[in-house]
Amino acid sequence: QVQLVESGGGLVQPGGSLTLSCATSGFRHDKYAVAWFRQAPGKEREAVACISGGTRSTHYGDSVNGRFTMSRDDAKNTVLLSMNDLDSEDTAVYFCAADPRTFDNISKFCRDYYFANWGQGTQVTVSS
């Protein structure tokens, strides 16, 4: 059974940093594409970052590019999202996702409807 459990969310001041972690189990971690998405109140879920399962290419959403860094540790079955220079627009529930397809053309497939497996989400609030 595929499971994804996010952690690391919380309250952070504008300009601060936070690292989210996603612990995965129940699947061959090194073969799956993995991703972070987020959803703010009243808004649609948007892609934050995705890493393909094959070439390990990475795609970032326009709003986080240059501030966020996504990484994966296949030996530890963990996916990380390091977030810097946070502002109020980054306030959202952040979701970890995974799919058994490798999605080597990751920029094309970094959309929520392509990912089959989801965590419960972790809240990130950026506020002074």
Q: How far apart are the first and last CA of the chain?
A: 40
Token pair for residue 56? 């390990």
Token pair for residue 46? 């948007």
What number of CA atoms fall less than 13 Å from residue 85's CA on the CB side?
A: 7
**Helix spans in 1-128 (H):** 106-109
Note the pLDDT of residue 30: 84
Tens place of pLDDT per residue across the chain (128 aa): 999 999 999 999 999 999 999 999 998 888 899 999 999 999 999 999 999 998 899 999 999 999 999 999 989 999 999 999 999 999 999 999 999 998 989 999 999 999 999 999 999 999 99
Confirm if 35 and 115 have CB atoms less than 8 A apart.
Answer: yes
